Structure 1
Amino acid sequence: MRKYEVMYVIRPDLNEEAMKGLVNKFQNVITANGGEIEKVEEMGKRRLAYEIKGYTEGVYVVMNFQSEPQMVAELERNLRISDGIIRYLIVKDEK
């Protein structure tokens, strides 16, 4: 298994319950496909460097996990189709 880090930005106009639901959804995608979550850090609401999809702020979440490479495609698909996600980035951790 390889180590990965995903950072995604959630729309700031969602309520707290919806945000927690999105975080849990992505954690479940990883664990359901045989991955292991190492750390989840909710960084809170921050100002974006530039406007994205009409938003100037977003809620940042960083998650470190281990999984097989094919699971990353499934996670990316889920991030892409979620309406509550403004941006995301998945990188392989070389540490």
Structure 2
Amino acid sequence: MRKYEALYVLAPNLTEEEIKANVEKFKNVVVNGGGEVENIDEWGKRKLAYEINHVNEGYYVLMNFSANSELPMELDRVLRISDSVIRHLVVNLQK
């Protein structure tokens, strides 16, 4: 199992319940795929460095997890098709 880090930015107009549901949804993608979530750090609403689709801020979430090499591709696919995600990045932490 390799260590990965996923950072995603959710739309700022989501309610608190919708944010929690999205965080749980992406966590379940990792757990159901055979991975192990080590840490989820919700940074909260922050100003974006640049405007994306006429939006100036977003809700940042950082998730550290361990998984096999196929799981990050599945997580990336799920993040890409989610309407509530503005931007995302999944990174392998091992060299």
TM-score class normalised by the smaller sequence: over 0.9
Aligned to 1:38: 38
The RMSD of aligned alpha carbons is 0.9
Aligned ranges 1:59-78 → 2 under 5 Å = 59-78=59-78
Q: Distance in 1 between matches of 2:11 and 2:69?
A: 28
**Runs of 5+ in structure 2 lacking a partner?**
none
> Could you list the per-position Cα deviations for residues 16-47 of structure 1 after superposition, in whole angstroms to 9, with x for gaps in the alignment?
00010000000000000100000000000000
TM-score relative to the length of structure 2: 0.97
| Displacement after TM superposition at 1:59 (Å) | 0.4
Quote the offset at 1:91 in angstroms.
Answer: 0.5
Match for residue 47 of structure 1?
A: 47
- Partner residue of 1:87? 87
State how far apart, in whole Å, the 1-side matches of 2:53 and 2:76 are. Answer: 19
Letter in 1 for 2:61: V
State the 1:7 CA deviation. 0.2
What is the count of residue pairs matched by the alignment?
95
1:6 aligns with 2:6: yes
% same residue:
53
Runs of 4+ in structure 1 off by over 4 angstroms are none
In the aligned structure 1, how far is the partner of 2:24 from the partner of 2:80? 16
